[in-house]
Amino acid sequence: MMKNCEYQQIDPRALTVSPSSAQIHTVKKVQRLRRKWEVFPGKNRFLCDGRFILARQSGVLPLTLGLIIVTCCLFFAFDCPFLVEHLTVFIPVIGGMLFLFVTISLLRTSFTDPGILPRATPDEAADIEKQIDTSGSSTYRPPPRTKEILINQQVVKLKYCFTCKMFRPPRTSHCSLCDNCVERFDHHCPWVGNCVGKRNYRFFYSFIVSLSFLTSFIFGCVITHITLRYQAGKSILQAIQESPASVVELVICFFSIWSILGLSGFHTYLVASNLTTNEDIKGSWSSKRGTEDSGNPYSYNSIITNCCATLCGPMPPSLIDRRGFLPPDEAGPAASTSEIELPPFAAKNGTHMCTQSTKDVLERMVHSSEFQGLCPPGIPKTTPLGLEGSNTAAPSTEPLPSAGCSRHHACHSVVTPCPPFSRSSRRDSLHSINPAFRLASPSPSLSHTTLILGDAPDMGFILPREHPLTTGEDEES
């Protein structure tokens, strides 16, 4: 109803209806449900609200991308026209396809979870400790714990990871750069800006193989180009002067080819013998160590099977569940008091409801007293809002600080929707009231108040699709 949208300065005195204890409870309850990526303990960066994962140090990924893009652009701009004219039109087509494949593989390698193992829960860690039964004193760090197991009749030692508090599964290694245990850990690649592990090894392999093809292809085409010009009667110097970009490409390709081809060859060998770089470097299964059966226990003893298993095997799921919601209890009681959920506000005259800027709201809030108690009571603890959809700009990509600038962050991360009146504009339709947020406050001005996010469309907080109110019905609270 329109009249409920009228903005009214919230009178703190009018809010003293619920006892203070209940208000404190509601402060805790109205905490925004946080996603698991926000409290992820490893050194990773998350983009797009947890959809993409990257190592914190992106290494030289921009350089890699830059080199590839620049080389290809030069190729398409300077060499292709000549070659299309003199040879065939398929040259840019093939080049384009290779370029696309390389870029997509690179991005998938960089942004895919390599197979990170979530750290052990406290209960699990305690259980493991009990089993180890260290009866020594607790003042010093106990010696590295290992457990020996038999894999395919071969003894393998499992090491205990002190950071993740668990025995690492076989072939798992802890990456110090990312501070995570990664399954089937191959290596941490700075060019790609991520670890290479079980889940993204196939992308990494596609990337280096296709990159070898791409560099060889460009190299060959550029040589052909210059040769053709040379054969047309000009000197080499003249040919180069006519197409200076070709020299740049030549230089880049020449230096890359050695390393990329070498790397592809090396990884082809690893794939064929079902080894990881880590194991190969450490010589875990080399015949020099150990006299009795020291072969790779994971190998299928057939090159084809090894290749297929590594590259075409089933794609395991990500174990860290980045976009899952944390149960509200786990969000941390310490943070609850300072992470004030901004109380809902009614807008001026309905039509301008959703246009009130966040800043204004904040200012009003700051100037108004007793904001601690303004959190609307009765907001239930678990309201899965399922923030899916067009969350283009993740408002807070870092974990919300437990103190300090909580207001500003809380403002951006508040999910309290607006009531569904004023369906006139598209923006307004984003804010449909969630019945779970209906307040039990006696003050009518508060019952339909919501926080207006000034840049609401960009926030894109869309209620789950199956929610009845997202169908656009004007539901009266």
Binding region for another protein (CB under 8 A): 100-101, 104-105, 108, 117-118, 120-121, 123-124, 127-128, 149-152, 156, 158, 166, 169-171, 183-184, 202-203, 206, 297-298, 305, 308-309, 311-317, 319-321
Q: Which is nearer to another protein, 87 or 107 (CB)?
A: 107
The encoded tokens of residue 8 equal: 């009214």
Q: How far is residue 182's CA from residue 198's CA, in Å, rounded to a whole number? A: 8
Give the position of tokens 């071969």.
154
Q: Which is nearer to another protein, 84 or 272 (CB)?
A: 272
Distance from CA of residue 189 to its chain's centroid? 17
Q: Alpha helix locations (H) across 232-369?
A: 236-242, 244-272, 277-282, 303-311, 333-336, 358-367
Parallel, antiparallel or unpaired: strands 194-196 and 146-151 = unpaired
The encoded tokens of residue 425 equal: 């504009």
Q: How far is residue 24's CA from residue 90's CA, in Å, rounded to a whole number? A: 69
Nearest to 249 by CA among 398, 447, 11, 71: 71
Q: CB of 314: closest distance to another protein in angstroms?
A: 5
Read off the amino acid at residue 292. E
In sign, the C-alpha dihedral spanning 45, 187, 219, 107 is negative
With beta carbons less than 8 A apart as the criterion, state whether 322 and 46 touch.
yes
Q: How far is residue 58's CA from residue 61's CA, in Å, rounded to a whole number? A: 6
Q: CB of 443: closest distance to another protein in angstroms?
A: 31
Q: Which is nearer to another protein, 35 or 171 (CB)?
A: 171
189: annotated active-site residue: yes
- Identify any residues that bridge with 154 across adjacent strands, giving them in sequence order: 151
Q: CB of 377: closest distance to another protein in angstroms?
A: 20
Q: Which is nearer to another protein, 325 or 461 (CB)?
A: 325
Name the catalytic one among 72, 189, 195, 411: 189
Q: CB of 18: closest distance to another protein in angstroms?
A: 21
What's the residue count for the chain? 477
With beta carbons less than 8 A apart as the criterion, state whether 142 and 134 touch.
yes
Q: Which is nearer to another protein, 67 or 158 (CB)?
A: 158
278, 282, 293, 294 from 289: Cα distances, Å: 16, 11, 10, 7
Q: Which is nearer to another protein, 108 or 467 (CB)?
A: 108
The encoded tokens of residue 385 equal: 């809002």
What stretch of H or E contains 284?
Answer: none
Q: Which is nearer to another protein, 150 or 237 (CB)?
A: 150
Nearest to 276 by CA among 176, 155, 168, 188: 188
Q: CB of 183: closest distance to another protein in angstroms?
A: 8
With beta carbons less than 8 A apart as the criterion, state whether 260 and 211 touch.
yes
Q: CB of 326: closest distance to another protein in angstroms?
A: 13
Report the catalytic residues: 189
